[in-house]
Amino acid sequence: MSGANSSSLTPEFFILNGVPGLEDAHVWISLPFCFMYMIAVVGNCGLIYLIGHEEALHRPMFYFLALLSFTDVTWCTTTVPNMLCIFWFNFKKIGFNSCLAQMFFVHMLTGMESGVLMLMALDRYVAICYPLRYTTILTNPVIAKACLATFLRSVMLIFPFTLLTKRLPYCRGILIPHTYCDHMSVAKVSCGNAKINAIYGLMVALLIGVFDICCISVSYTMILRAVVSLSSADARHKAFSTCTSHICAIVITYVPAFFTFFTHRFGGHTIPHHVHIIVANLYLLLPPTMNPIVYGVKTKQIRESVIKFLLGDKMGFT
């Protein structure tokens, strides 16, 4: 087998084929992806800098937002530069260990994205249901421990992906019909039994995705009850308006995630493969691109901080 160690059936490298069936359109497909990536990098790095620079944004909500921005920019950077090399320069070869590393970081950061959104939902719950105790409950040590726990959960649950994938024999070839090393896309290239990979992948999706969605749903149920009980319509509007950016981020993240997850497992014969690949790439690019825009437009403190940063202190913001 070309590119493989015949004694161990472990390939030296894989070939990432890009978007199968649309090879002639790779350059055109790359343009919106490149544009979205540039917006994601500039927007998220700008948010991180702004939150670190502006003292008015040194609050729990914005600490979680900074972590979300860091996760977003790292998440898309693990795949997009390599994908653009495939589209522009036909650089399709990726080393076996590099592929496993990319697979680990893609899925680990996916888990982090979900976990941070869950933490942000809990932050909104505390802010609205316990406003007088907000800063005493969400202290800096508590925030640091929550973020560390989310990171460790993602690392510990995703790391077995690499071990399960590495143990498989690869005798069907080295061509992966994808733009990056996705767990099941790599496992399907194997000639071994990948059922354990599929079962464990489903289990991780339940432990991370379903758990986080349940926590988010419970948080917003409690928030809705608290908002409805407010006597003033203006107070209800103000309380719920603080959640709109987060709700938008949830929709932007989970809708393409569910589409990718379910079509990958149950719609393989009805949905063209190139649609799977394009949606999978949009799933990695859409949240990092849209989150800075949504939070920049919807969050008053960030808007004012941006204006203050661009125009100095002339506007009189504090």
* Bigger pLDDT: 193 vs 241: 193
Domain-located, residue 89: yes
Predicted confidence at residue 49, as pLDDT, reads: 93
Would you say 205 and 114 are in contact if contact means Cβ atoms under 8 Å apart? no
Domain-located, residue 159: yes
Residue 56 has pLDDT above 70, yes or no: yes
pLDDT bucket at 172, cuts 50 / 70 / 90: confident
**Per-residue H/E/C for the chain:** CCCEECCCCEECEEEECCCCCCHHHHHHHHHHHHHHHHHHHHHHHHHHHHHHHCHHHCCHHHHHHHHHHHHHHHHHHCCHHHHHHHHHHCCCEEEHHHHHHHHHHHHHHHHHHHHHHHHHHHHHHHHHHCHHHHHHHCCHHHHHHHHHHHHHHHHHHHHHHHHHHHCCCCCCCCEECCCCCCHHHHHCCCCCCCHHHHHHHHHHHHHHHHHHHHHHHHHHHHHHHHHHCCCCHHHHHHHHHCCHHHHHHHHHHHHHHHHHHHHHHHCCCCCCHHHHHHHHHHHHHHHHHHHHHHHHHHCHHHHHHHHHHHHCCCCCCC
* Bigger pLDDT: 297 vs 155: 155
Predicted confidence at residue 219, as pLDDT, reads: 93
Domain-located, residue 128: yes
Residue entry with tokens 């825009």: 293
Number of domains present in the structure of the chain: 1
Contacts of residue 200, defined as CB under 8 A and 6 or more positions apart, other chains included, come to 160, 161, 164
pLDDT bucket at 236, cuts 50 / 70 / 90: confident
Q: Residue 91: give the domain boundaries.
A: 13-311
Domain-located, residue 6: no
Domain-located, residue 316: no
When mean pLDDT is compared across 9-13, 110-114, 126-130, 138-142, the lowest value belongs to 9-13
Mean of all residue pLDDT scores within the chain: 88
Cβ burial, residue 247 (10 Å; 0-12/13-18/19+): middle
Of 38, 49, 122, the residue nearest 76 (C-alpha): 38
Would you say 149 and 116 are in contact if contact means Cβ atoms under 8 Å apart? no
Quote the tokens at residue 177. Answer: 């019909």
Domain-located, residue 7: no
Predicted confidence at residue 74, as pLDDT, reads: 96
Predicted confidence at residue 269, as pLDDT, reads: 64
Predicted confidence at residue 62, as pLDDT, reads: 94
CATH assignment at residue 97: 1.20.1070.10
Quote the tokens at residue 42. Answer: 């500039």
pLDDT digits (tens, 9 = 90+) for 70-96: 999 999 999 999 999 999 999 999 999
Domain-located, residue 238: yes
What integer is the mean pLDDT of 292-316?
Answer: 79
Predicted confidence at residue 298, as pLDDT, reads: 84
Would you say 250 and 113 are in contact if contact means Cβ atoms under 8 Å apart? no
CA distances to 34, 37, 294 from 111, in Å: 24, 20, 21
Residues in the chain: 318
CA distances to 124, 127, 129, 130 from 222, in Å: 10, 12, 8, 11
Would you say 214 and 194 are in contact if contact means Cβ atoms under 8 Å apart? no
Instruction: Please provide residue 177's backbone torsions phi and psi, each rounded to the nearest 5 degrees.
Output: -80, 70
What integer is the mean pLDDT of 15-31?
Answer: 90
Predicted confidence at residue 314, as pLDDT, reads: 52
